[in-house]
Structure 1
């Protein structure tokens, strides 16, 4: 900053060309006091006017930025109440309602509901696909648009309200020596102030216990993209602020090198250098290359520590702007405190000795070996918790490390029986704590020969429900890749607990590498298949890494029990699934298991064609696509769902062109 407060050091008074004993001190929020009246040369006084005016205006702009954000959140919260989706069972409540006012329900459905659906479909068509993937990764156009608006907003406030000029002023007591004073100083101060002002927002966007989620209804993980790129903006601002003042102090101010040495050795500047180094470290470790080099867990822990030390360094660098650093610290600590409290409340249970205390869940571990891609682990346990379909928990495995937790979605329904709900999870154990858990399961099974049990600590639930708006008039297409089946299975399991709906279309498309992968969720698939005919559910399981016998033909649809006659689990699927033809192929109205892979490589199902076929085949109502899987699969679905939407046709009553997509963004981490 150009003008440090007088409590930093007296050595910089001369550089700031003000004599504190010659006048009255005028306070300026977030900046050093100014001496009035100005007794310097005219050029220096004009420059001081520009410096202080630019700073004061910049502080107003930071208030405008936060006020604008608050107004947007307020309007968002109000719109959630006013534009709340109208459910079919709310439009017409009873036959008596129709008799009293036959046009009332039609009016509601034809105005508010149709308008909301048409606007949503139009926005999805243009904003749902990925945008500039080479730079932003697999991120929707909507996220990139929000980032562009925020960046443009900040850029405008970085330049307006500054008097641009150049002032050549004499150096006191040094005839013939001149300082070059310019608008580079006020501009460098402005972007420094904005970097401070954006810090609390960056921390808010990263919070798991997110107030933004409470207001907007958007899951906290959806803010990760903005958190990351807002961090990049702060890095750019910090670097430009440093470059600007380095040019001023090392080149434009005279005499040199005396001025530069006095400047760089001041305590506030030392803390500024520390803050910039920490900021660059945070940036380097958060890049994809940094995360791959150090590992995600190291990145996460280092990110927390470096961010807090960075805030402290910023506070020490420019204490007058602590008004932005303090909220950032408070948001961070409140987020952590709420996490601890929620975890403690979840695990405060009756102990075996009839007392109350902290008790971990005891999970049975099932291990499904896979030497090529990492074993898949399944956990099953009962615990007194509640959640909504689509929400997830962070699971900590104390036998591995109490300092790490990982997000997992329960594949079971949140049904509570005798005070306890059944939790079931599957995940692939590639490395780190999950690999340790797979190794532990193998070891314990070898020792006990019966079952392996491990304690589990839960944090959560987190995220939003995906089933709240899946009313009987909605067609449902569930798409999963590998262990992503955990995200979509609860929706299907909940549907078979409801009354069947005529003309409703429900399908599951699941891509797995091998036939044996179906065993991960053997019992759930059996339950779904038993009720599939009654509820009109079709299930398509594509085996992507086992070569089909006749590619493209019906003969490539294979019975799971082929080559595994001794596997009782596989036999149960055979008996539940379909009647085999003489060629060994499965011909079922409700379950297809098809090998489409090539030898030694994956051949993925054509999700674009499958999705279009599903939407075209719906008899009535809109369609909800629920998906979880690899990034490429999610990108394909975003593209095809966008193509299926048409706001104009929805407004004219063609509901089949209203297609939504809900996906598990956590697989993008």
Structure 2
């Protein structure tokens, strides 16, 4: 008998049977069994239930992963063969200049698909149970409910539910209880192990799930978090179940309990339970607020990998689920480092090749009440990214251990071998606040000698937002504050496309003060200079402007530092298309309804980035405008899609 086999027999020591009295039967992922059973009939029947339940449980985990794999395979194939048209695949002149009817003709399959999509958004786009799940759509909750129900079924199916009272060898009139609690506790433990690779996969930035489905990796964060909670509950129930068995059901006590808890596999089990309990506490909203997001993120990486190692030590036969979890995590970290290495491997000033950081020019827009806004601009030798993609930026003067996701404000076009990166962000705390403080301490001396800081990039990540914006798609862009970085490149791209008179394009931007327009003045000016017709409407809502506060607020590192901007002067300086400055927060429901009703034909895509409350309102507003019945009848205007910046959930 091998050492591993002997160890597994000892771990199943309650068989109370000498291994020399029978043969050893291996069970995949479980302790070996001595057969034939030489114990009393009740104990032998119990072992039949234990091992039979385990075999069925392993089969169910196979079915579970086959289901997941099948869904992903079908999704990937369908996305490849029946995906939406790309903007590059359309011919602009095929669309008439004037549409006499809002109805559009389309193929039966296409119309069914659009009608189903509109129906799905109408019912599943709004948020529900926010007090428990936060700002989460009904679709995400439905997927979570399906997964939870699926796991619940496999947790209870195929188990013999019965109790056995059996004698204890060597003791007169001493009996122990054996019940279905044992195979049930094993089952949920196996399922917790089986879900570990999926949990790691859902958290990966270099996500194979995104490659197969086209869904951005950050959209899986909700499922990752709640699947982690499910695994925690499974672990707790598994631990409670076996504690009751070993401390209460088995006899004599406390001898059985003391022998059980001292075994190596149980020591590792206790370590794993402590680690997942800490992971659970730190991953709650209260834990993140208490310790800070960066501490949570770094500790989560370390604790999760040590937890996987402890699970391996607790039950080595199921390492088949732990190895993929570790492999996925290691691949993700290696791919991230490789991305940074490739993008920063540049020609150095001495002509050699090496790692070269980007040198970003820092411009600040002070705001003592809500946090300074910082703008970074720098050219870098690389290929253009897709509009809508983002980069992780590491500010090496602040910390080399942290990076934050930012969407480039600049339009990705290569000039003389370089692409210009521009970012704006509000510096409230942490690393971004350090950049603002650095600008305060060392302001730019002159325009020719600006303040700079080294930046290391990782990316790009995310989806191409304009890939499916065919000329028949109307576009409504809504931004709040620095969320303008997400939508402005889309508008920039749209105004460069061939003329489509039926397309409606509107940008709605809510800012606290009128002079916040200065953040993106050069980009807005460039866009307005390209617009020769009234196809683009820009509406800016000033939500918290206070005249005395506005006049007292200086700006620095800007040429117009002595100027003070009013809505009227901003409108005149940027061009005639920017003629709508409104006071107060916009009514998003009315804005979406008014936009959709004002379109001539075609579907609508709403792009949005801003505070969580704004996104919640937009989800409800867009859902209200969707109607599968009207789309089925040919009115494509009621096919309204919403694309949000999911960085808000990171």
Residue of 125, 141, 154 corresponding to 1:128: 125
Q: Could you report, residue by residue, the CA deviation over 1:601-642 in whole angstroms, capped at 9, with x for unpaired residues? A: xxx221111111111111111111000001110011000100
CA gap of 1:472–1:535, structure 2 versus 1, over 3 A, is farther
Deviation, 1:19, is: 2.1
Q: Count residues with an aligned counterpart.
A: 634
Q: Deviations over 1:418-456 (max 9, x none)?
A: 111010000011111100011112222166784110110
Q: Supply the distance in 2 between the matched residues of 1:7 and 1:517 (Cα, whole angstroms).
A: 72
The alpha-carbon deviation at position 505 of structure 1 amounts to 1.1
Which deviations, in whole Å up to 9, do the C-alpha atoms of 1:110-162 show, x marking residues without a partner? 32322221111111111111121111110111111001000000000000011
Report if the CA contact (8 A) 2:534-2:577 is conserved. Answer: no
Taking the aligned partners of 1:526 and 1:573, their CA distance within structure 2 comes to 15
Per-residue deviation, residues 59-103 of structure 1 (Å, max 9, x unmatched): 1111111111000001001111232113588577988x99xxxxx
Q: Secondary structure in 1 aligned to 2:476?
A: strand
Aligned to 1:513: 512
- Partners of 1:470 and 1:273 lie apart in 2 by 54
Provide the rounded CA distance (Å) in 2 between the counterparts of 1:574 and 1:605. 19
Q: SS where residue 421 of structure 2 aligns?
A: strand
The reply on whether 1:426 has 2:424 as its aligned counterpart is yes
Q: Which runs of 5+ in 2 are unaligned?
A: 97-102
The structure-2 alpha-carbon separation of the partners of 1:119 and 1:436, relative to structure 1 and needing over 3 Å to count, comes to same
How do residues 543-558 of structure 1 correspond to structure 2 at under 5 angstroms?
543-546=542-545
Give the match's secondary structure for 1:109: coil
Structure 1 20/108 Cα, relative in aligned 2: closer, same or farther at 3 Å? farther
Q: Which has the higher contact order (CA 8 A, sep 6+)?
A: 2
Of 282, 303, 318, the match for 2:279: 282
Number of the residue aligned with 2:204 = 207
3-state SS of 1:480 partner = strand
CA displacement at 1:587 relative to structure 2:
12
Tell me the residue number matched to 1:592: 580
Alpha carbons 1:519, 1:569 under 8 Å: kept: no
Q: Per-residue deviation at 1:189?
A: 0.3
What is aligned with 2:617? Answer: 636
Report the alpha carbon displacement of residue 355 of structure 1 after superposing the two structures with TM. Answer: 0.3
Q: Does structure 1 residue 315 correspond to structure 2 residue 312?
A: yes
Secondary structure at the counterpart of residue 386 of structure 2: coil
Query: 3-state DSSP class of the match of 1:605?
Result: coil
Equivalent residue for 2:607, pick from 615, 626, 638: 626
How do residues 46-65 of structure 1 correspond to structure 2 at under 5 angstroms? 46-65=45-64
Q: What SS class does the counterpart of residue 14 from structure 2 fall into?
A: coil
Secondary structure of the corresponding residue to residue 543 of structure 2: strand
State the alpha-carbon separation in 1 of the partners of residues 596 and 337 from structure 2: 45
* TM-score normalized with structure 1 length: 0.90
- Identify if the C-alpha distance between structure 1 residues 510 and 655 changes in structure 2 by more than 3 Å, giving closer, same or farther: same
CA drift of 1:516 comes to: 1.9
**Is the alpha carbon distance of 1:422 and 1:574 closer, same or farther for their aligned partners in structure 2, counting shifts above 3 Å?**
farther
Q: Secondary structure at the match of 1:498?
A: coil
Cross-structure match for 2:335:
338
Partner residue in 1 for 2:461: 462
1:577 aligned onto 2:571? yes
Q: Distance in 2 between matches of 1:614 and 1:568?
A: 38
Shift of 1:203: 0.1
User: After superposition, where does 1:76-475 map in structure 2 within 5 Å?
Assistant: 76-86=75-85, 90=89, 109-385=106-382, 386-445=384-443, 450-475=449-474
Take 2:487 and 2:562, find their aligned partners in 1: how far apart are those partners? Answer: 26
Q: How far apart are residue 284 of structure 1 and its match?
A: 0.3
CA shift, 1:644, in A, is 0.2
The alignment partner of 2:442 has SS state of helix
Equivalent residues of 1:398, 1:457 under 8 A apart? yes
User: Structure 1 residues 634 and 120 mapped into 2: Cα distance closer, same or farther (>3 Å)?
Assistant: same
With over 3 angstroms needed to count, the CA separation of the structure-2 counterparts of 1:548 and 1:623, relative to structure 1, is farther
Q: Distance in 2 between matches of 1:89 and 1:451?
A: 40
Cα distance in 1 for partners of 2:12, 2:541 equals 74
Structure 2: distance between partners of 1:262 and 1:595: 73
**Any conservation in 2 of the 1:413–1:490 contact (CA below 8 Å)?**
yes
The answer to whether the 8 A contact 2:514-2:567 is kept is no
1:256-302 Cα offsets, whole Å, 9 max, x none, are 11111111111111110110000010010011100000000000000
Over 3 Å counting, the alpha-carbon distance change for 1:9 and 1:617 in structure 2 is closer
Kindly tell me: are residues 36 and 444 of structure 1, through their superposed partners in 2, closer, same or farther at Cα, counting changes over 3 Å? Answer: same
1:457-489 per-position Cα deviation (integer Å, ceiling 9, x unaligned): 000000001111111111110000111000000
RMSD (Å), alpha carbons:
2.7
The Cα shift of 1:588 comes to 5.8
1:6 positional shift: 4.8
State which drifts further: 329-338 or 604-613.
604-613
State the 1:577 CA deviation: 2.9
